[in-house]
A = this chain, B = another copy of it.
Amino acid sequence: MAFAETFKALSDPVRREILTLLKKQRLSAGEIGNHFDMTGATISYHLSILKKAELVTETKCKNFVYYELNTSVVEEVMLWLSDLKGDYQDETV
């Protein structure tokens, strides 16, 4: 996992909102797009960045592409922050 890509992915408000939507359930690209006043192409661009950062995974079904939150990468980011904070409570080190 590359922190550079992950933090970059998290730095955009649209992408953070997409992740928040995916917190409850997996959604198709179109369903995600419906929550925003943007073209599908733009949503697809943001999804591609979240995917590269491994913050989401995709599953194809019929002619839909479903996206799901990948909590394990979220956890890795939390560990980085936890280490920065100097809190060794939940570290494996």
Contact = CB atoms under 8 A, between A and B. Distances in A.
A11 interface: yes
Contacts of A19: 84
Contacts of A11: 7-8, 10-11
Q: How many copies does the complex hold?
A: 2
Interface residues on A, range: 20 to 34
A60 interface: no
Contacts of A65: none
Nearest to A75: B85
Contacts of A78: 78, 81-82, 85
A85 to B, nearest CB: 5
A13 B4 contact: yes
